[in-house]
Amino acid sequence: MKSKEILKLLKAKREEARALAETDMSKAREMLEEIRELEKDLETAQELEEMELRELAAGKPVNPKKPNEEVREATKEDELRALGKYMTGKALNDEERALVTVSDNGALLPQGYINELMVLRDGFPSLKKYCHVIPVTTKTGKMPIATLGNNKLSKLTSNQPIEEGAISTNSVLYDVADYGKFVPVENSLTDDEVVGLIQNVIIPDFAEGSVAAENGEIMTVVKAKSTKVESTSYLDLENAMDSQVPAVKAGLITITNTAGYVHLKNMKDSIGRNLNLITNVNGVDYFNSKPIITLSDEDVSPTSDGNVIYYIANLRELIKFIDRQTLEIAKSTEFLFNKNQDCLRAIERFDVKEGAARSAKVLEFNPVKGSEIAAEVEALKAREVEASDKELKGLIAQLIKSLSENTEEIKEEKETKGKTNK
C-alpha cells in the first residue's frame, strides 16, 4: 500500500481505538497492536517512496526493465500529466503510477520542475544560498553543530585518551515545518488544466513566496544574534567588516533594505563625485568586496525613521538551514466546499537553526551628518595621496584628524541623547 492509504487506515483505526477505550479496554489494547503494526508499515512505505524520489532525482529508473521489454523514457510532460491525473482523482496505469511519488498528504513535484523552480528563485534576493544547507529525509531529528572560535586539530597518540578540545560539536534538535501556498480552483478542472495551473501559476508564485518565507526565518535568527556596533557612517561598516577574523571574513555578507542600498550606491565626495561603494559583477552587488543583499522593509527596517541599517554576518556559520528538499502538491475538496471550489496547495519543508553567532553585527545610523563627514574624509584621503608637498600633506592629515574627532563627538551626542531618553 501507498503511504497515503496507510495514513487513512491509521486514522480510522485510531478513532476506533478511542471509541473502544470507553467500552472494552481489552479490544482497545488489541487495536493498539494493529495501530503499532500499521505505523511500522507507514514508516517502511515512506522510506521506500523517499528512496524512489532520490532515484528519480538521480535519473535512475524506479521500476527495473523486464526482459525483452522496451521501456520509453518518461519526459517532464509525462511526469506532470501523471501528476495532473492523480490530482483530479483519475485512474493511473502502471507506467503513470511509477511517475508519481506520494507524500504524507499529496504528491511530490517531479524533479525536473523542481529544477525549474530553482532557476526562477534566482530572480529573487535569497539568503538561503549563503547559509549552511543541510539536506534531510526525515521531519524531525538531531543534527551535530560545530562550535567555532577556537577550532584546531588535536594531536592523536596511540593508547592515549582523546583531548577534550578534539570534541567540538553540539547537537541540536530540528523539526521541519510546512510552508505553503493555497490556490483556489474550479472543481471541474481537467488534468491538463491542472498541469497548466501548476506550470503557469503555482511554480512561478511559489518561487517568490518560498524565498520570502526562507528570508523571514533566517532574518529572525540574524536579528536575535547580531551585536550592535556604534556607527555614524559607512566607514564604521567597513571597519566592522575588516576587523573580522579571516575565517569569518571569507564568507561575510551585508544585508540591508532599499534605503540602505541607495545610501551606499549614491554616496558622493565633497565635490560631487560618486564614491562607487557598490559594484555589480555578473548580476551580484558587492560592497567592500563582499556580497550585499537588499531585502524589503518587512524583513529589514531601522529602529528610527531617517536611519539606515546594515547587518553583517557569515551566514554559513550562523545559519544551519535544514532542508527537506521536496515540494508537495496536494488537492483539497473540503477547504472551499461552501464556494463550490477545490484548492491546490504547494508545500515546502524546512527548519532554521542557529550555528556560531560570532560574526553577526548590526549597524544603524542617520546618514545625513555621517555622509557629510565620510565624504569629506574620502576626498581628503585622495588629496593626501596626490599631494607632493610635505606641508600640504601635514595640513590634510590634520583636517582628517579633526573630522574624525567630529565623528566621535556625534557618537557621544547620540549616547547622551539615548541615556536622556531612557
pLDDT in tens, 357-372: 888 999 999 887 555 5
**Neighbouring residues of 309: CB distance < 8 A, sequence distance ≥ 6:** 256, 257, 260, 300, 301, 302, 303, 362, 363, 364
User: Is residue 62 pLDDT above 60, yes or no?
Assistant: no
Residue 20, in any domain of the structure: yes
Q: Phi and psi for 410 in degrees, rounded to 5?
A: -65, -40
Q: Grid coordinates standing for 249?
A: 571574513
Which of 19-33, 94-108, 286-300 shows the lowest mean pLDDT across its residues? 94-108
Neighbour-count burial for 207-235, b at 16+ CB within 10 Å, e otherwise: bebbbbbbbbbbbebbeebbeebebbbbb
pLDDT in tens, 377-416: 666 566 555 555 555 556 656 666 665 555 555 555 555 5
- Identify the pLDDT of residue 206: 83
Residue 154, in any domain of the structure: no
Regarding predicted confidence, which is higher, 335 or 243?
Answer: 243
Residue 359, in any domain of the structure: no
Identify the band that residue 239 occupies on the pLDDT scale cut at 50, 70 and 90.
very high
Closest to 266 in 3D by CA, of 361, 189, 371: 371
Residue 57, in any domain of the structure: yes
Q: Please, what is the average pLDDT of the chain?
A: 77
Dist. CA 114–CA 117, nearest whole Å? 5
Residues of the domain holding 33: 1-61
Dist. CA 258–CA 344, nearest whole Å? 34
pLDDT in tens, 265-292: 998 877 778 889 999 998 899 999 999 9
- Identify the pLDDT of residue 5: 74
Dist. CA 320–CA 392, nearest whole Å? 53
Residue 221, in any domain of the structure: no
Residue 35, in any domain of the structure: yes
Residue 157, in any domain of the structure: no
Which of 8-22, 172-186, 229-243, 302-316 shows the lowest mean pLDDT across its residues? 8-22
Residue 10, in any domain of the structure: yes
Q: What is the DSSP string of 29-45?
A: HHHHHHHHHHHHHHHHH
Regarding predicted confidence, which is higher, 172 or 379?
Answer: 172
Q: Please state the domain count of the chain.
A: 1
- Identify the pLDDT of residue 114: 73
What is the β-pairing status of strands 319-332 and 107-108?
antiparallel
Q: Across-strand partners of 227?
A: 361
